[in-house]
């Protein structure tokens, strides 16, 4: 039987913890939520030396065990609950080589819980540029642990982490500091009342408003015995603990961690002065947005054309290969048309996620959050609201979940209520098809009209969000305002592996999430569009044939025949057989136009046609016909369905209006 180890991956935000997680687990991971709350839970499996298997849990980023948010509470609760199935056999604390001092605060707190703890120092490839040298053996000795120096960007040091995890039983569980020194009298009294409990765990229980097993049964006792101190007094003791730990950390780093400022190279300060400038910062961000939306159109046109051609070819192949009948029509006109109507937009959606991932990986997104804090404040929001709003361009559901980090209830509620105004990826296909139909392909100052229109639609969503926030800010009265602190990570070249993983996962999530609904609705629409109960539906062919004989083709069919004949005449040299060829082509086009009119007439008198005609009076004032009305109704299930509904309806009807 394979031995399995529970591993908790812990670290400050922006230390590369998730990159370490991705390299350890590869694609053997899944994402869910912690029971009863909306905090994301990422876990995966990693194979270690000697046939050992590790179950790795990527915990939310936290600066210390003195929690200030729901995410951080998840970390503390797991580390104190030995009955939890995910309770770690070993804790892996990921740190950033440039911010080792701050990261070690969390490391010492976790080690004082007497959990086997090893330290990972990430971004080692930046050490030469920053003039950093580390005496690893001395640091290991002083911290009483094992250390892995890694670079996820260069894919170095991951095997070392695996070896240390496999040998976790050899890690020391002795605490780094004596917790009672924080407040000797207070801790002595605490230990006397609860002699069998770990002193530092008791301290964490007292200072936080959450229940932790196995101590939760004694929670009331502990609180009643030691909650005589006010919250401000407990905060003072927490600050005293922090100072105490930093004194310990400073003493170690003075010996083992050196920075040669003269050797350090970097332009971060210069870039920050420009990118966060109160005028140029916004102009640069605006130019970046323009570039993104222009690229979404220019770069995605080729793969979109390719996908369109492949689906059309597949549909024709199925019609020509399989025997005629309902099953063939279902696949060719129902399923393929419906799915193709959404798959064709994958390139544009993937490019959107690509640019967002590049901005996040490079460190620029934190600067955007800082910039937008100035804009958000007058509307009752803060920079913390920017992350959910930006996440809303992918999907509103995880964006709303991201508001959990906003401490102020008013700002959190306002952010939740206005986030759906942001243009999410589900709306993107709808916008794209409408823009393609309405906006010409011309350019203004080198920028396409269609790209500018798409950007304008995104801006309209953002403006609607902040105006709604302003109105809600007037309604919801609260005096206290939250403060906003954001860490500015170092600029770095995006890691291709992380960017690719993000794009693939988010695009896959979009396609699979929408695909299930689209497939079901496409089949239903095909059935409703291919069947009818009226005599007009049954006699569609004879009725249309008689109408054409008496009245001629419809204006749309006339235009279809004329356009194709003009193309034939323009591209065919005048030869002896020209007139004969012209007659043959005319006959073929007339037959095709007739088939289109029959299909359109049959669709209009099918089940879906009758339903559409019934609701047409409601949508007609908006300039919509019954087909658009049906698409609007089906889009209540999911916004992505709007496009696939139109694709299925027009495919079943083989509508001459397409031409």
Q: How far apart are CA 30 and CA 21, in angstroms?
A: 12
Same-domain pairing of 305 and 434: yes
pLDDT average, residue stretch 494-504: 82
Using CA atoms, how far apart are residues 82 and 89, in angstroms rounded to an integer?
10
506-540 pLDDT, tens per residue? 788 777 776 777 777 777 877 887 788 888 888 87
Between 52-61, 68-77, 83-92, 226-235, the lowest mean confidence (pLDDT) is in 226-235
> What tokens appear for 651 in the block?
């495919």
Q: How far apart are the C-alpha atoms of 247 and 251, rounded to whole Å?
A: 6
- Give the pLDDT mean for 370-396: 75
Distance between alpha carbon 11 and the CA centroid of its chain, in Å? 21
What's the token pair of residue 543? 């009725």
Same domain, 589 and 490: no
Q: How far apart are CA 347 and CA 299, in angstroms?
A: 8
Q: Convert the pLDDT of each residue in 160-175 to its tens digit.
A: 999 999 999 999 988 8
Which pLDDT score is estimated for 2? 55
Same domain, 188 and 313: no
Q: Does residue 501 sit within a domain?
A: no
Nearest-angstrom CA–CA distance, 84 and 489: 33
Distance separating alpha carbons of residues 7 and 53, to the nearest angstrom: 10
For residue 201, give its domain range: 1-264
Q: Residue 655: which pLDDT band, with cuts at 50, 70 and 90?
A: very low
Q: How far is CA 126 from CA 78, 101, 191, in A?
A: 33, 16, 45
Q: What is the pLDDT of residue 32?
A: 45
Distance between CA 104 and CA 64 in Å, rounded? Answer: 9
User: Which residue did the predictor score with more confidence, 484 or 220?
Assistant: 484
- State the Cα angle at 654 between 650 and 656, rounded to 5°: 95
DSSP string, 545-575: HHHHHHH---HHHHHHHHHHHHHHHHHS---
Of 84-98, 157-171, 200-214, which gets the smallest average pLDDT?
A: 200-214
- Helix and strand totals (H; E) in the chain: 29, 11
In a domain, 269, yes or no: no
- Given 200, 229, 264, the domain boundary residue is 264
- What's phi and psi for 439, nearest 5 deg? -100, 130
CB 364 within 8 A of CB 275: yes
Indicate the average pLDDT of the chain.
Answer: 79
Closest Cα to residue 350, out of 307, 410, 287?
307
* Contact (Cβ atoms closer than 8 angstroms) between residue 546 and residue 536: no
Q: Which of 303, 345, 331 is nearest to 639 (CA)?
A: 345
Q: Ranked by mean pLDDT, which of 202-206, 297-301, 353-357 comes out on top?
A: 353-357
Question: How does DSSP assign 241-303, residue by residue?
Answer: HHHHHHHHHHHHHHHHEEE-TTT----HHHHHHHHT-TTHHHHHHHHHHHHHHHHHHHHHHHH
Last residue within a domain, chosen from 496, 520, 536: 496
In contact, 56 and 25? CB cutoff 8 Å: yes
CA distance 527 to 329: 10
Please report whether residue 503 resides in a domain: no
Cβ atoms of residues 557 and 656 within 8 Å: yes
Q: What is the pLDDT of residue 215?
A: 44
DSSP 372-399: HHHHHGGGT--GGGHHHHHHTTT-HHHH
Say whether both 31 and 139 belong to one domain: yes
**pLDDT score of 93:** 95
Instruction: Say if 92 falls within a structural domain.
Output: yes
Whole-number Å distance between alpha carbons of 102 and 263: 22
d(CA 106, CA 117): 11
**Does any domain span residue 271?**
no
- Are 383 and 295 part of one and the same domain? yes
Q: Is 334 exposed, middle or buried (0-12, 13-18, 19+ CB in 10 A)?
A: buried
Structure tokens at 87: 């309770």
Q: Are residues 162 and 93 in the same domain?
A: yes
* Token reading at 316: 């024709």
Helix or strand (DSSP H, E) at 601: helix 578-604
Name the pLDDT band for 246 (thresholds 50, 70, 90). Answer: very high
The DSSP call for residue 494 is: P
pLDDT tens for 352-370 read: 788 888 888 888 888 887 8
Q: Count CB-CB contacts under 10 A for residue 177.
A: 18
Give dist(CA 165, CA 161) in Å, integer. Answer: 6
pLDDT grade, residue 85 (50/70/90)?
A: confident
pLDDT at 442: 81
* Same domain, residue pair 82 and 231: yes
What pLDDT is stored for residue 145 in this prediction? Answer: 94
Residue where the block lists tokens 């544009």: 348
Assigned domain for 274 exists: no
- Domain count of the fold of the chain: 3
pLDDT at 561: 77
Residues 148 and 187 in one domain: yes
What's the rounded Cα separation, in Å, for the pair 190 and 615? 72
Q: What percent of the chain has pLDDT over 70?
A: 83
Do 492 and 527 have their domain in common?
no
The answer to whether residue 272 sits within a structural domain is no
Q: What angle do CA 357, 360, 364 make, to 5 degrees?
A: 135
Tell me the mean pLDDT in the region 20-34: 66
Give how far the C-alpha of residue 303 lies from the chain's centroid of Cα atoms, to the nearest Å: 23
Distance CA 29, CA 22 (A): 8
Looking at 440, 467, 496, the residue that finishes a domain is 496
Question: Could you tell me if 180 and 307 lie in one domain?
Answer: no
**pLDDT band for position 575 (cuts 50, 70, 90):** low
For residues 46-61, give the mean pLDDT.
87
For range 276-296, the mean pLDDT: 84
- Domain of residue 229, CATH code: 3.40.50.300
Looking at the domain assignment, is residue 322 inside a domain? yes
Determine which of 28-42, 179-193, 460-474, 484-498 has the lowest per-residue pLDDT on average: 28-42
In a shared domain, residues 330 and 449:
yes
Is residue 344 within 8 Å of 432, Cβ to Cβ?
no
Closest of 639, 627, 628, 650 to residue 337, by C-alpha: 650
* Same domain as 361, residue 442: yes
Label residue 597 by pLDDT band (50, 70, 90). confident
Alpha-carbon torsion, ordered 327, 329, 330, 331, to 10 deg = 90
pLDDT computed for residue 612 by the predictor: 82
């Amino acid at each position: 039987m394979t031995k399995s180890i529970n591993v908790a991956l812990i670290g400050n935000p922006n230390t590369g913890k998730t990159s370490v997680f991705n390299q350890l687990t590869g694609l053997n991971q899944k994402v869910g939520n912690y029971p009863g709350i909306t905090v994301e839970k990422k876990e995966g499996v990693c194979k270690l030396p000697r046939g050992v298997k590790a179950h790795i849990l990527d915990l939310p980023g936290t600066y210390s065990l003195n929690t200030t948010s729901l995410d951080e509470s998840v970390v503390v609760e797991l580390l104190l609950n030995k009955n939890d199935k995910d309770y770690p056999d070993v804790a892996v604390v990921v740190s950033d080589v440039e911010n080792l001092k701050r990261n070690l605060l969390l490391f010492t707190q976790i080690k004082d819980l007497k959990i086997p703890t090893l330290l990972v120092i990430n971004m080692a490839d930046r050490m030469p540029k920053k003039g950093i040298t580390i005496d690893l053996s001395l640091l290991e000795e002083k911290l009483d642990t094992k250390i892995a120096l890694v670079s996820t960007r260069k894919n170095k040091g991951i095997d070392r982490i695996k070896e240390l995890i496999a040998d976790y039983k050899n890690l020391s569980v002795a605490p780094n500091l004596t917790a009672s020194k924080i407040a000797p009298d207070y801790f002595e009294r605490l230990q006397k009342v609860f002699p069998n409990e770990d002193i530092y765990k008791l301290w964490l229980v007292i200072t936080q408003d959450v229940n932790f097993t196995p101590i939760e049964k004694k929670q009331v006792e502990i609180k009643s015995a030691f909650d005589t101190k006010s919250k401000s007094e407990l905060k003072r003791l927490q600050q005293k603990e922090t100072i105490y730990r930093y004194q310990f950390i400073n003493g170690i780093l003075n010996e083992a961690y050196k920075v040669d400022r003269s050797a350090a190279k970097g332009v971060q300060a210069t870039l920050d002065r420009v990118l966060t400038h109160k005028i140029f910062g916004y102009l640069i961000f605006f130019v970046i947005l323009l570039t993104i939306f222009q690229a979404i159109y220019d770069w995605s046109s080729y793969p979109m054309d390719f996908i369109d051609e492949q689906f059309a070819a597949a549909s024709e192949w199925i019609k020509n290969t399989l025997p005629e009948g309902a099953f063939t029509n279902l696949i060719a006109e129902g399923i393929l048309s419906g799915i193709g109507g959404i798959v064709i937009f994958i390139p544009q959606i993937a490019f959107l996620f690509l640019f967002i991932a590049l901005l996040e990986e490079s460190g620029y997104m934190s600067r955007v959050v800082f910039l937008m804090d100035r804009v958000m404040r007058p509307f009752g929001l803060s920079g913390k609201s920017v992350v959910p709003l930006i996440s809303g361009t992918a999907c509103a559901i995880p964006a709303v979940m991201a508001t959990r980090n906003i401490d102020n209830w008013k700002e959190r509620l306002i952010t939740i209520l206005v986030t759906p105004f942001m243009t999410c990826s589900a709306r993107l296909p709808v916008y794209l098809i409408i823009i393609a139909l309405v906006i010409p392909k011309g350019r203004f100052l080198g920028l396409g009209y269609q790209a500018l229109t798409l950007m304008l639609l995104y801006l309209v969503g953002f403006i609607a969000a902040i105006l709604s926030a302003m109105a809600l800010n007037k309604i919801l009265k609260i005096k206290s305002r939250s403060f906003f602190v954001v860490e500015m990570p170092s600029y770095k070249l995006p890691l291709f592996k992380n960017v690719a993983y993000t794009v693939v996962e988010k695009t896959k999530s979009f396609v699979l999430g929408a695909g299930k609904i689209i497939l079901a609705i496409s089949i239903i629409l095909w059935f409703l569009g291919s069947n009818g109960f009226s005599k007009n539906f049954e006699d569609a062919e004879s009725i249309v044939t008689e109408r054409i004989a008496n009245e001629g083709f419809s204006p749309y069919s006339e235009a279809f025949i004329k356009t194709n004949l003009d193309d034939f005449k323009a591209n065919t040299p005048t030869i002896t057989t020209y007139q004969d060829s012209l007659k043959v082509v005319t006959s073929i086009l007339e037959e095709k136009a007739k088939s289109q009119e029959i299909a359109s007439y049959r669709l209009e008198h099918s089940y879906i046609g009758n339903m559409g005609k019934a609701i047409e009076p409601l949508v007609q004032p908006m300039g919509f016909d019954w087909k658009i009305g049906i698409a609007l109704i089906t889009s209540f299930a999911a916004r992505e369905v709007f496009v696939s509904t139109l694709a299925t309806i027009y495919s079943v009807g083989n509508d001459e209006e397409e031409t």
